[in-house]
Amino acid sequence: MILNQALVTLGMNMQRLWFAGARQFLVANAPNIALTPAVAAQGPGAQFLSQVLATTYNAFLERDVLGPAEAFPGISISRMDVFGALSEVVGLPQSPFFSNVVTPCLTFFVIADAVCEDPDRTLFWDAIHPTRAGHAVLAAEAAAALGGT
């Protein structure tokens, strides 16, 4: 139900923007949330269900929102593959960007050494959100989706 409502809302908002004159859209799919420290800490069952949730959302995004929206005259939809980008970064055995793609940089409920030594080489700031370096990877993905370098 919640996935359906999110997709319906996205489709309606794109339609409203198109009627208001917008013609260029950048749409990001859902990340592979199974790879976040928050979900990984819950075990393989939670990771499996989280990955199914994200892939289901992404499939319906393509089929029920982006596919039909491409029929709008003059529309240009660039797709940002957040799911693929996160999966690729975490799956690299020797990342050129990150030395830590598993453990969050910030440790809650401690006073000393709450922040990791090298946040710019760590993918996750907390158990869910990317660090500045993680956001840079997503920015590069957005630029590539828009045809930039």
**pTM to 2 decimal places:** 0.90
What pLDDT digit, counting tens, does each position of 82-140 carry?
999 999 999 987 788 899 999 999 987 777 778 888 999 999 999 999 999 999 999 99
| Both structure tokens of 119 | 């946040």
What pLDDT digit, counting tens, does each position of 29-75 carry?
999 999 999 999 999 999 999 999 999 999 999 999 999 999 999 99
Q: What is the DSSP string of the chain?
A: -HHHHHHHHHHHHHHHHHHTT--EEEEE----GGGSHHHHTT-HHHHHHHHHHHHHHHHHIIIIIIHHHTTSTT-EEEEE-HHHHHHHHHH-SS-SS-SBSSS-SB-TT-STT-B-S-GGGBSBSSSSSB-HHHHHHHHHHHHHHTT--
Q: Residue 21 is part of which domain span?
A: 2-145
Q: How many domains does the chain have?
A: 1
